[in-house]
Amino acid sequence: MNAPGCSVEQRFYQALRDGALPRTARHLSPQQAGLGGPALAELFEAQVLSRQLDLHARRLAARGEVFYTIGSSGHEGLAAVAAALRPTDPAFMHYRDAAFFIQRSRQLPGSTPTWDLLLSFVAAAEDPIAGGRHKVLGSKPLNIPPQTSTIASQLPKAVGAATSLGLWRRLGGAGRWPADSVVMCSFGDASFNHSTAQGAVNASAWTAFRGVPMPLLWVCEDNGLGISVPTPAGWIEASVRARPAMRYFACDGLDLLDTYQTAAAAVQHARRHRQPAFLHLRCVRLFGHAGADAEQAYLSGAQIAANEARDPLLYSAGLLLQHGVLNAEQIRALYDDVGERVRRVAEDAIRRPKLRGAAQVMASIVPPPRPGRARADAELPPPLAQPAPMARLINHALDRLLVRYPHLVLAGEDIGRKGGVYGVTLRLQAKHGAHRVIDTLLDEQSILGLGIGLAHNDLLPMPEIQFLAYLHNAEDQLRGEAATLPFFSRGQFTNPMVVRIAGLAYQKGFGGHFHNDNAIAVLRDIPGLLVACPSNGADAVGLLQEAVRLADEEQRVVVFLEPIALYHCRDLHAPDDGLWCYTDPGPAHRIERGEFGVHGDGQDLAIVTYGNGVYLSRQAAPELQRRGLELRIVDLRWLTGIDHDALYRVVRGCRRVLIVDECRRSGSLSEELMAELCARGLGARRLRRLTAEDSFIALGPAATSTLPSTADIVAAALAMAGIRRRRERAS
């Protein structure tokens, strides 16, 4: 009697026996709604299977066979939304959409949703989507990328995916989905309030308002609760109805016929007008938020009973009886037969192997390679005739890459007509078009989501974040979406891209920590993410061209971190010496991961550094050499996935190693370098690190006071060599 969902199930049986099934408000017939009787029965069966999976998942959890339960009970009306869409329409789904998944599976012969979902529930290694890494709803054949416990993080990439459909038309090609597809994205009423959701919904309307195609169906599943916090009545409608360039639709999610008819109209609007439609689906949440949630703590017994009386299965059974599709005995038999099938299949699923060991878990962090799509016959712009600073060389490399990769798309704030804050993308939009160099709205979550969604549909995106400090409000798009997609899909889904970020410190003209930011720890902490950081223009070209190849051929997500202070730097030691201008190395030049830049072969001191640290160390070199120190400066170039064995081989012949890290002492790359070199036998007395202080960056003359300087490098190197101490004794 205390089994999960017992009271809901008892109410269902009792209502069937008594014939006391609730009536829907609209009184539509199946024919009026655009459904026949058999189709209505099919939708009900999808609802029943979703419910029985929910109930049995909780039973298995009590036996220790299921490890995460968050169910779809009360949201089974999503089966009708699936029926209104095509199986080729990509779906970025809410975690309560098992009925949608089941109904879509019926649209693809040979699908086995019961088996597939149970394998996911029990974390079996044979789970066809995540391979046992999480309970997710997803399927490559069904065009459903996997989502876990998302709090609106899937919405920005849905905007990107919808944008991709129009972009492919402009490019004259085709992606993974038919050109007339509609992108579906569902979420809860509580998630709607998240800044990510608000930004994405706004971005979809903003884009459509500008006349850009946006065939997107938003589905807000409004059950009135955000775990325990009620959603104010009327809030969703009031927040959405008046938005420009987006049409609002509402339906009773407990009524399959109303839901299907309204969803079909919303889909037709999005498909025909290429504008977003917002489907507000009112539903109910049964059994609490998740397996560990006891709703008795915040809902009264009367409230729980009222919710259970609104069970969508009761309303669907009533429709079947009312329209003579099935009788009560047939409905009960269907319900029981599905339950028995779930129990039988579950006993097989729990015996399937689980993931064992780190290697199996990590096997899909790195996506599989694919054939590259660069145009071998592309007529590329000739290399620059004269040495140039980094910004100019990056601009020319981007121009070349846009020609070489016809599916490459740049996107970011101010990158088009303005050419970027620092002129790095100057004239690229005029040459390649506004559809390939896209001026976006001011929202970093939407910019990264745009990139992820474009990549879902086989475009090669290069989103730009204007300043590193602006990344931090959007970094979960990289951590929770971009990098995890191959992990949770066994490499079946990927979103390769190159994210350009202007960052680090030392720049003059702009001030304060919003434009000078030396915090990169979050980028180094994301499994599978690659981070490249050039110190000079030639390396910038080689790293950028390799980053694009990695995204195109190896499906990697790469962050290209560009040191702002070095964009227009020309001189190294004296005004007009031009020593920090470099010759364009050409289109074939690529700097692979693990390929360090090594300047000098001295054995007295190795300086290991990157970005601005390379420039400062090169500035310090003449003074150190004058003081008798023979140097070796090692430019890391790649800041993740460092080959520490190779680095040790480069520096082990040196008497001392100084790590110069322009980022903060706590959480900086220097910590990793120190630990790994020590672990390989480099004694602590031979090692030292020079870092920035654990501080934000100030304005004006104080801007560099917390950062390593050329003088600091000289002092640290001399102190390590004992030169200063010998001079003091001599005096």
Residues 467-503 pLDDT 10s? 999 999 999 999 999 999 999 999 999 999 999 999 9
695: tokens are: 């501080």
For 222-268, write each residue's pLDDT tens digit: 999 998 999 999 999 999 999 999 999 999 999 999 999 999 999 99
CA 15 vs CA 8, 290, 318, 622, 670: distances in Å? 11, 26, 9, 89, 67
Distance, CA of 557 to CA of 547 (rounded, Å): 9
Per-residue pLDDT band at 511 (split at 50, 70, 90): low
How buried is residue 61: exposed, middle or buried, by Cβ count under 10 Å (0-12/13-18/19+)?
middle
Q: Does residue 731 carry a pLDDT above 50? A: no
Over residues 197-205, the mean pLDDT reads 97
Residue 502 DSSP label: E
Ranking 141-150, 337-346, 551-560 by mean pLDDT, the lowest is 141-150
Over residues 512-516, the mean pLDDT reads 78
Please give the mean pLDDT across all residues of the chain: 94
152: tokens are: 């609106």
What local confidence, expressed as pLDDT, does residue 289 receive? 87
Residue 124 DSSP label: B
Q: Does residue 301 carry a pLDDT above 60? A: yes
DSSP string, 217-275: EEEEEE-SEETTEEPPTTHHHHHHTT-TT-EEEEEETT-HHHHHHHHHHHHHHHHHH-S
For 119-136, write each residue's pLDDT tens digit: 999 999 999 999 999 999
566: tokens are: 């070095």
Per-residue pLDDT band at 1 (split at 50, 70, 90): very low
What local confidence, expressed as pLDDT, does residue 442 receive? 95
What phi, psi does 657 have (nearest 5°)? -130, 125
Q: Does residue 345 carry a pLDDT above 90? A: yes
- Of residues 301, 294, 281, 297, the one with CA closest to residue 74: 281
Over residues 19-25, the mean pLDDT reads 92
Distance, CA of 317 to CA of 627 (rounded, Å): 89
* Contact (CB, 8 A) for 66 and 121: yes
For 670-725, write each residue's pLDDT tens digit: 999 999 999 999 988 999 999 999 999 988 888 899 999 999 999 999 999 998 54
- Of residues 365, 382, 378, the one with CA closest to residue 405: 378
* Contact (CB, 8 A) for 460 and 407: yes
Q: How many helices (H) and strands (E) does the chain have?
A: 25, 20
The pairing of beta strand 91-92 with beta strand 183-188: parallel
Q: Does residue 304 carry a pLDDT above 50? A: yes
What local confidence, expressed as pLDDT, does residue 730 receive? 38
Per-residue pLDDT band at 149 (split at 50, 70, 90): low
State the catalytic residues: 515
Residue 600 makes CB contacts below 8 A (sequence gap 6+) with 621, 630, 631, 632, 633
Q: Does residue 728 carry a pLDDT above 50? A: no
- Of residues 467, 536, 522, 458, the one with CA closest to residue 500: 467
Residue 53 DSSP label: H
What local confidence, expressed as pLDDT, does residue 147 receive? 84
Angle at the Cα of 349 from the Cα atoms of 344 and 350, rounded to 5 degrees: 105
* Contact (CB, 8 A) for 50 and 76: yes
Per-residue pLDDT band at 3 (split at 50, 70, 90): low
What SS3 class is residue 181?
Answer: coil
What local confidence, expressed as pLDDT, does residue 293 receive? 79
Over residues 428-454, the mean pLDDT reads 97
| Cβ count within 10 A of residue 328 | 16
Residue 575 makes CB contacts below 8 A (sequence gap 6+) with none
Over residues 146-165, the mean pLDDT reads 91
Consecutive H or E run containing 656: strand 656-664
Q: 């902490």: which residue's tokens? A: 525
What local confidence, expressed as pLDDT, does residue 621 receive? 98
The structural domains of the chain, ordered by start, are 17-354 (3.40.50.970), 390-566 (3.40.50.970), 597-730 (3.40.50.920)
- Of residues 198, 86, 188, the one with CA closest to residue 142: 86
Distance, CA of 353 to CA of 126 (rounded, Å): 7
What local confidence, expressed as pLDDT, does residue 701 receive? 85
Angle at the Cα of 707 from the Cα atoms of 705 and 709, rounded to 5 degrees: 90
Output the pTM of the full model: 0.95
* Contact (CB, 8 A) for 680 and 644: yes
Residue 546 makes CB contacts below 8 A (sequence gap 6+) with 532, 590, 591, 592, 593
For 305-343, write each residue's pLDDT tens digit: 999 999 999 999 999 999 999 999 999 999 999 999 999
Between helices 328-349 and 6-18, what is the axis angle to 10°? 150
Q: Does residue 508 carry a pLDDT above 80? A: no
Distance, CA of 43 to CA of 328 (rounded, Å): 17
What local confidence, expressed as pLDDT, does residue 726 receive? 47
What local confidence, expressed as pLDDT, does residue 4 receive? 59
Q: Does residue 598 carry a pLDDT above 60? A: yes
* Contact (CB, 8 A) for 599 and 454: no
For 32-62, write each residue's pLDDT tens digit: 999 999 999 999 999 999 999 999 999 999 9
Considering only residues 462 and 150, tell me which one the structure prediction assigns the higher pLDDT. 462
How buried is residue 661: exposed, middle or buried, by Cβ count under 10 Å (0-12/13-18/19+)?
buried
Helix, strand, coil in percent for the chain, rounding step 5: 45, 15, 45
Q: Does residue 507 carry a pLDDT above 90? A: no
